[in-house]
Structure 1
Amino acid sequence: MRGICWEKIRPLTTKMMLNRKTMSSLRKVCFIGAGTQGCQNSLRAAASGFEASVFDISSQALAEMKERQLGFVDRYVEVFGFESTELTHAIEKISRTTDIDEAINGADLVNESLPERMDLKLEFYTDIEYRVTDTTLLTTNTSSLPITPISEVLEKPERFAALHFNGISRLVDVMPAPGTAPESLARLEDFARAIKSIPITLRKDVPAYIANNILMARLQEALLLVLDGCASIEDVDRSIGLIQTDIGPFAQMDRVGLDVIRDILFERAKRTGDQSATRAAAFVGSYVEKGALGTKSGQGFYTYPNAAWEKGEAFLQGL
C-alpha cells in the first residue's frame, strides 16, 4: 500500500425538508481536506443526519474547523432551512482526524477537496481505492479539472464521479466519468437531495461544470477591465451592484479565495489556450503571492472585516 504524501491537502485556501433515511442509502461520508469546502460540506452532511468525518494532514486545520463552522450557521439557516441548534449540535458530532484509515472507516462516500493539481489527485485516488470497501463511492470536488484522467487510474471506475459543491448554495454538480455506473450517479443525486440541495447531473465530463464556466467568464472579464486600466475594482463591483442584487465579481472572488480563483484561471487557460485567462490568473496571483487570499486571510481585493462593498448603499454611491 502506498504511503500518504498528498502535499498540502487543505487548499490555501431552499428550503427542501427531506428525510435522509428515505432519500439516501448512505450513512457515513468522509471529507478529505479541512479547508473551506471540507468545513462547509461536512457541516451540511452532519446537520442532515449523516455521520461525517474529516481528514487533513494538518492538525491545526482540523482544530480551527469548529470556529470556522460556527461562522456559517446564520447562512445555513437562511439558505438551507436548518435550525441553528441542529447546526451547533452537528458541529460537535463531526469526527476530525489526521489518520486517513480512521476517517474512511465505514464510509459509504468519500469526497475529496485537494488543491487543483492533477498529480495530487491521481496520487490520492491510486492510494485511497485500496483503503476503502468495494462499495464505497469515490468522488472529487474539483472546481476546474477534468475527471476522466482520475477514472483511468482506478480499478473500479464505475463507483467514481464528481460531486461538486458550490459554496453555500443549493447547487450540487454531479458529473460522470466515462466509466461511471448509472447506479452511482443515482446514489449521489439522492445524497444531494438529502442534504437539502438540488443536484444538476451533467451528461459527460465537462471541466468547471455549468455555473462555474459561466461564472469564470464573468470574473475573467472583470479582472481584465481592471488590468487594462478601464476601471477600478470598486467601480466594477459598484456597476454590478447597481444593476442586480448580487455582489460584485471582486467581492465574490474574495469570498471564494484568490488562490482558488488563480488556480481555476490557470487551468482554464491551459485547457482553452486563452491568453486572457493567463493574464487574469497572473493578476490574481500577484495578490496571492503577498498572502492576500480574500476573506479567509483578512485581505484580498478588499480588507476584512468591514470591507467597503459590505456597506451596501453607501458603497454603491461611492461614499
Structure 2
Amino acid sequence: MNYKNITVAGSGVLGSQIAYQTAFKGFNVSIYDINNDALARAKERIINLKIRYQKDLGATVEEVNAAYDRITFICDLSEAVAEADLVIEAIPEIVQIKTDFYKKLCEVAPDKTIFTTNSSTFLPSQFAEATGRPEKFLALHFANEIWKNNTAEIMKHSRTDMHVFDEVIEFAKAIGMVALPLYKEQPGYILNSLLVPFLEAAQMLLLNEIADVETIDKTWMIATGSPKGPFKTLDIVGVNTAYNIALGKAEAGVTEFDRLAEFLKSEYLDKGKLGRQTGEGFYSYQDVMKHKKLGVSLAMS
C-alpha cells in the first residue's frame, strides 16, 4: 500500500472527520466541496476537531496543527484529485448526486486512483459502472466521531479487485482504524444493519405520537445502560442524514417513510434544526455551541 495523497469529497460532519483523521496519521489530504462557503464551514469543523483531539486523545498543539497543515481545501474537482492515490466520497446520501459525481470524477482522476464510498445505506455495485473503473471501486465506511469510534468497514462488490480490497484494508489500519472486511455486499454493512432499524423505530414512535423525544431516549438509556438514546445519536449523525434515508425509502415505496421524511423536513430541516452541528436538532446545544465558539477563538489567538 503506497498511498500518500488522499482526497475526501464532501466536507460535512463525517467528511471533515475522515479528512482530519487521515491527515493526523501523516497523509496529505485534499478536501473537495462544491463551493467556498462549504469549505469555510469545513475549516471551522476541523478547527473544532483540533480541540477534541487534544481533549480526547491527549494530542499536543504541535500535532494537531501539523495535521491541519497537511490539509488543502479545494472546490475544483480536477485540482483536488490531480495527485490522488485514493478518493473517499462522503457526499449526500442521494443516488443521483452520487452517480453524477462519479461520472465527473472518472473523467478527471488519474488512472491510478482508487475510488471508495462512505455511503451508509447504498451498495457499491449501484455506482460501479458510473465510476468507469469498477475493479478499483469499493465501500469504506466510518462511524461518527472517528477518532474514538475507530471502525472502518471495507466492503467489496463482485467486481472489486482483491488486491485493491486488501490495499484499502491496509490503508484503514494506517489511519488508526480497526479494519472490518466484508466480503459480500450487505445494505447497511454491519454497523448500520444494526443501527438504522433502531433509529428508525425511535423516529416512528415519535412520528406516531407514542411518546416524546426525552421519554424514548430515557427508556432506552435506563433499560439498557446505554450512555445516550436514539435521538441524541441522531443529533450526532445529523438530522439531514436521517431525512435522506427516509426520503430514499419513501421514493422506493416503503410504507410510512413518506410521512417520516415530510415530518423531518417540516419540523427540523426547514427550521434549521440539523442536529448538534447547528446547535439544535431533537435537543438544544446552544451552550455547547457557545463553548465551541470560545474554543475556536482561543485556538486562533
The normalised TM-score by structure 1 is 0.82
Greater mean deviation of Cα atoms: 280-289 or 227-236: 280-289
Partner of 1:20: none
- Aligned equivalents of 1:101 and 1:66: distance in 2? 21
Does the 8 Å CA contact 2:239/2:275 hold for their aligned counterparts? yes
Q: Percent identity?
A: 33
1:298 aligns with 2:279: yes
Partner of 1:16: none
Greater mean deviation of Cα atoms: 74-83 or 277-286: 74-83
- Aligned equivalents of 1:123 and 1:189: distance in 2? 27
Deviations 1:117-167, CA, capped at 9 Å, x for gaps: 211211221221121222210111111122212112343211001111211
- Aligned equivalents of 1:218 and 1:93: distance in 2? 38
1:28 aligns with 2:5: yes
Deviations 1:255-308, CA, capped at 9 Å, x for gaps: 11111111123334556x54244443333223112221111222211112248x
Pairing 1:1-319 to 2, within 5 Å after superposition: 24-76=1-53, 82-168=59-145, 169-242=149-222, 243-268=224-249, 274-286=254-266, 287-306=268-287
Does the 8 Å CA contact 2:141/2:154 hold for their aligned counterparts? yes
Does the 8 Å CA contact 1:30/1:111 hold for their aligned counterparts? yes
Does the 8 Å CA contact 1:26/1:191 hold for their aligned counterparts? yes
Deviations 1:155-191, CA, capped at 9 Å, x for gaps: 3211001111211121111111221011111111111
Q: What secondary structure sits across from 2:271 in the alignment? A: coil
The structure-2 alpha-carbon separation of the partners of 1:109 and 1:294, relative to structure 1 and needing over 3 Å to count, comes to same
User: Which amino acid is 1:123 matched to?
Assistant: D
Deviations 1:47-96, CA, capped at 9 Å, x for gaps: 10000011112102212323211222354456667545312321132111
Does the 8 Å CA contact 1:253/1:261 hold for their aligned counterparts? yes
User: Which amino acid is 2:29 matched to?
Assistant: A
The structure-2 alpha-carbon separation of the partners of 1:100 and 1:72, relative to structure 1 and needing over 3 Å to count, comes to same
The structure-2 alpha-carbon separation of the partners of 1:80 and 1:193, relative to structure 1 and needing over 3 Å to count, comes to farther
Q: CA deviation at 1:112?
A: 1.1
Query: What are the ranges of 5 or more consecutive residues in structure 2 without an aligned counterpart?
Result: 289-301
The structure-2 alpha-carbon separation of the partners of 1:95 and 1:185, relative to structure 1 and needing over 3 Å to count, comes to same
Does the 8 Å CA contact 1:254/1:293 hold for their aligned counterparts? yes
Q: What secondary structure sits across from 1:107 in the alignment? A: coil
Q: CA deviation at 1:35?
A: 1.5
Structure 1 runs, 4 residues or longer, greater than 3 Å off = 73-85, 268-271, 276-282
User: Which amino acid is 2:44 matched to?
Assistant: E
Does the 8 Å CA contact 1:80/1:196 hold for their aligned counterparts? no
Query: What are the ranges of 5 or more consecutive residues in structure 1 without an aligned counterpart?
Result: 1-23, 308-319
The structure-2 alpha-carbon separation of the partners of 1:154 and 1:103, relative to structure 1 and needing over 3 Å to count, comes to closer
- Aligned equivalents of 1:156 and 1:255: distance in 2? 34
Partner of 2:293: none
Does the 8 Å CA contact 2:124/2:137 hold for their aligned counterparts? no
- Aligned equivalents of 1:79 and 1:189: distance in 2? 25
User: Which protein is richer in helix relative to its size?
Assistant: 2
- Aligned equivalents of 2:61 and 2:162: distance in 1? 36
Does the 8 Å CA contact 1:161/1:175 hold for their aligned counterparts? yes
Does the 8 Å CA contact 2:249/2:257 hold for their aligned counterparts? yes
- Aligned equivalents of 1:210 and 1:265: distance in 2? 19
Q: CA deviation at 1:28?
A: 0.5
The normalised TM-score by structure 2 is 0.86
